[in-house]
């Protein structure tokens, strides 16, 4: 009895575990056997009562006692033979039911055999055959129903427990897409959501969809979500403008409502055989910063790319690799991808080989500052278009290594631009940055110097004749998801539990997505006539503090409670805000309302080239102060911020040395 007492004590002594079947892992075998014996005993009693009812004057309950002992003993023997008590009851299967059936039938046959052996020995039957049949039916039923009942009760509590852990969500939308998403989430395994209702911004004729209530949401969407007892909302409605969606998400996050995005079922491409429910994911910050896509002139791109030899530098980077993917779609004659980063370039090569098996492309491992390597590349390939995305772009690193910024961002660009002119390349599209405008750091200044060189080179060549390489510059803000962007940095910090680090509470930046940036590059290459700086209307600048707080909330945490936000101070060369145009630059409209042309000041090529040459020579001598001083001489608006080179702004005479 000691083991029984311990088992009962474990179940009932702890108030948190008492009477909760979910906390009972499994019954020991001896307990299952005792219950089976008890059920067999009950079946015998029922059998006797039935027999007594049929023949009330022939037998008494006591007269069956010795026979009952024999029936129980035979049942125990076959329980042992077939190990009916060995399985875990809540996981009972058809095999367990078969074992029970074999055990009870074997008991019946054995008792029949015993009955006839005794009959032939002493001419008297011990059992009534009808009674044994009744007992067979009742005992099997009780044993089977016991296991079935335990299994059902366990499943009930298991589902109830799972239901407690499910995210109670409402779906924003009542169209076919919303209904399809609801159905997909209902059969998802493992299940994540419990859909408690639907919201619509229109009056809907149905009060319910799939048995769930339909409510019309107002300007206070959090109240409707709360009224349905939900803690999350799934955006299935795709008719909202980015601005409307942003406002709705803002309200949800303000009231601690988790936000999820659902795909469009009609356009879902199930290439990896993944259920569409897997695509219902937490809303990402990129989703909130999306704008209307740039409408490109497809015919212009076909003329620009199809059947042409294209060179993409910095091809393994975030911008360069997306340019490669988009260019590959237009079946160029040859696609040359160049980068100094071996492993990312190899990964891109494998991707292109898999996605475009018939494409003629050539991966080149090289540095754009290697003029001899580039000269051989241009000499051996009749290149039609160059997309120049290779650059060093990390502000603090370049502030500490200015010569490296000169090697790649200035010398590399000069090498490519000079070779483009020498080998009659049709278009040269340079990827620049908003940090080149009124630069406050070496990286931005080096990109501005590169802009100035290609612009002056184009003007110089054009003066000699109209048939020259068309040099085009595109300026971007921060690109979401690119290497070095704050978004992936914040994501990693949030995944690690914080803190999320921000350099200054008031710092603001322009943002765009990688597809947007690359569409702008392709559009610039297609529509550019030469000498333009294309600037994208990037909307309103984003305060980085607000961005961090939104990302923390989108991840399901409370800022400064679950995830701390830490101010670290401005980094060397960093400024609070970026600009897309300087005061000298005027803008002209284009055929697309969100793309502008910045008309830069025309500069003398000989003067620019001479200063660029001197900057490059200083860089190769590793004279950092002289490099930065000469950059400031070339770019008067270059004023260092939070940098060791601020002293050069106070002593202008250093610029001339």
Eight-class DSSP state of 602: P
User: CA nearest 467: which of 529, 386, 550?
Assistant: 529
d(Cα 202, Cα 238) in Å, to the nearest integer? 14
- Quickly list DSSP for 276-340: GGGG-EEPPHHHHS--PPP---HHHHHHHHTT-EEEEETTTSHHHHHHHHHHHTT--SEEEEEES
The answer to whether 351 and 378 have CB atoms below 8 angstroms apart is no
**Can you tell me the distance from the alpha carbon of 656 to that of 637, in angstroms, rounded to the nearest whole number?**
16
- Cα–Cα distance, 133 to 107 (Å, whole number): 11
Half-sphere exposure of 328 (CA within 13 A, CB side): 23
| Cis peptide, bond prior to residue 190, ω within 30 of zero | yes
H/E stretch holding 167 reads strand 167-172
Of 523, 597, 520, 579, the closest CA to residue 319 belongs to 520
Give the bridge partners for 474, in sequence order. 431, 534
Instruction: Return d(Cα 409, Cα 391) in angstroms, integer.
Output: 5
- Three-state secondary structure of 274-287: CCHHHHCEECCHHH
CA atoms within 13 A on the CB side of 77: 12
Sign of CA dihedral 544, 548, 554, 560: negative
Contact 633, 449 (CB under 8 A): no
Question: Three-state SS across 202-226?
Answer: CCCCCCEECCEEEEECCCCHHHHHH
Encoded tokens for 611: 């200063």
Question: Rounded to whole angstroms, how far apart are CA atoms 613 and 536?
Answer: 31
Closest by CA position to 388, among listed 439, 454, 441: 454
CA atoms within 13 Å, Cβ hemisphere of 187: 7
What would the two tokens of residue 273 be?
A: 């055989």
Q: Helices marked H in 510-579 — which ranges?
A: 514-527, 544-554
Token match 């009870």: residue? 104
d(CA 631, CA 108): 102
The catalytic residue among 301, 414, 435, 630 is 435
> Residue 639 catalytic?
no
Q: What whole-number distance in Å separates Cα of residue 3 and Cα of residue 399?
A: 74
Q: Are 214 and 198 in contact (CB under 8 A)?
A: yes
Around Cβ 320, how many Cβ atoms within 10 Å? 27
Residue positions annotated with a catalytic role = 435
């Amino acid at each position: 009895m000691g083991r029984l007492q311990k088992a009962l004590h474990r179940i009932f002594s702890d108030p948190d575990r008492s009477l909760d079947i979910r906390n009972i892992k499994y019954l020991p075998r001896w307990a299952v056997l005792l219950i089976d014996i008890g059920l067999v005993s009950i079946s015998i009693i029922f059998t006797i009562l039935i027999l007594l009812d049929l023949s009330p004057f022939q037998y008494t309950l006591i007269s069956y006692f010795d026979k009952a002992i024999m029936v129980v003993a035979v049942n125990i023997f076959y329980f042992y033979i077939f190990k009916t008590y060995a399985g875990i009851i809540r996981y009972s299967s058809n095999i367990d039911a078969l074992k029970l059936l074999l055990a009870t039938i074997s008991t019946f046959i054995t008792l029949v055999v015993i009955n006839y052996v005794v009959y032939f020995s002493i001419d008297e039957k011990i059992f009534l055959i009808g009674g044994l049949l009744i007992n067979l039916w009742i005992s099997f039923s009780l044993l089977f129903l016991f296991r079935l009942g335990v299994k059902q009760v366990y499943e009930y509590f298991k589902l109830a427990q799972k239901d407690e852990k499910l995210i109670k969500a409402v779906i924003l939308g009542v169209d076919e897409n919303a209904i399809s998403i609801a159905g997909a989430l209902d059969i998802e395994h493992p299940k994540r959501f419990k859909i408690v209702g639907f919201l619509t911004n229109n009056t809907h004729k149905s009060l319910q969809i799939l048995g769930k209530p339909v409510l019309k949401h107002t300007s206070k969407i959090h109240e409707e979500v709360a009224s349905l007892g939900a803690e999350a909302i799934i955006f299935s409605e795709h008719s909202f403008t980015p601005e409307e969606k942003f406002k709705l998400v803002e309200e949800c996050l303000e009231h601690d409502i988790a936000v999820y995005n659902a795909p469009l079922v009609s356009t879902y491409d199930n290439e990896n055989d993944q259920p569409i429910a897997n695509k219902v994911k937490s809303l990402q910050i990129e989703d909130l910063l999306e704008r209307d896509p740039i409408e490109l002139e497809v015919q212009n791109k076909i003329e620009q790319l199809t059947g042409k030899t294209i060179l993409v530098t910095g091809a393994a980077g975030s911008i360069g690799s997306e340019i490669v993917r988009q260019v590959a779609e237009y079946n160029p004659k040859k696609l040359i991808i160049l980068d100094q980063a071996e492993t990312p370039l190899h990964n891109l090569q494998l991707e292109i080989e898999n996605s475009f098996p018939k494409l003629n492309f050539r991966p080149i491992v090289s540095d754009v500052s290697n003029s001899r390597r580039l000269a051989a590349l241009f000499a051996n390939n009749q290149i039609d278009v160059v997309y120049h995305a290779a650059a060093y772009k990390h502000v603090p690193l370049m502030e500490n290594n200015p010569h490296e910024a000169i090697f790649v961002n200035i010398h590399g660009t000069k090498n490519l631009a000079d070779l483009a002119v020498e080998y009659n390349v049709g278009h040269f599209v340079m990827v620049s940055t908003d940090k080149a405008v009124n630069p406050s750091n070496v990286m931005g200044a080096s990109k501005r110097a590169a802009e100035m060189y290609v612009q002056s080179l184009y003007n110089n060549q054009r003066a000699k004749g109209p048939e020259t390489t068309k040099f085009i510059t595109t300026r971007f803000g921060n690109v979401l998801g690119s290497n070095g962007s704050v978004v992936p940095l914040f994501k990693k910090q949030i995944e690690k539990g914080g803190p999320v680090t921000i350099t200054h509470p008031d710092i603001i930046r322009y943002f765009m997505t990688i597809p947007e940036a690359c569409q702008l590059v392709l559009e610039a290459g297609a529509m550019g006539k030469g000498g333009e700086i294309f600037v994208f209307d990037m909307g309103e600048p984003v305060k980085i503090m607000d961005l961090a707080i939104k990302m923390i909330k989108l991840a399901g945490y409370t800022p400064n409670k679950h995830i701390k936000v830490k101010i670290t101070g401005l980094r060397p060369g960093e400024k609070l805000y970026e600009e897309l145009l300087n005061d000298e630059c005027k803008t002209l409209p284009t055929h697309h309302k969100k793309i502008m042309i910045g008309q830069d000041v025309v500069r003398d090529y000989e003067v620019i080239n001479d200063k660029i040459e001197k900057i490059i020579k200083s860089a190769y001598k590793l004279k950092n102060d002289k490099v930065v001083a000469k950059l400031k001489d070339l770019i008067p608006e270059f004023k260092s911020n939070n940098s060791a080179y601020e002293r050069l702004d106070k002593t202008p005479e250093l610029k001339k040395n």
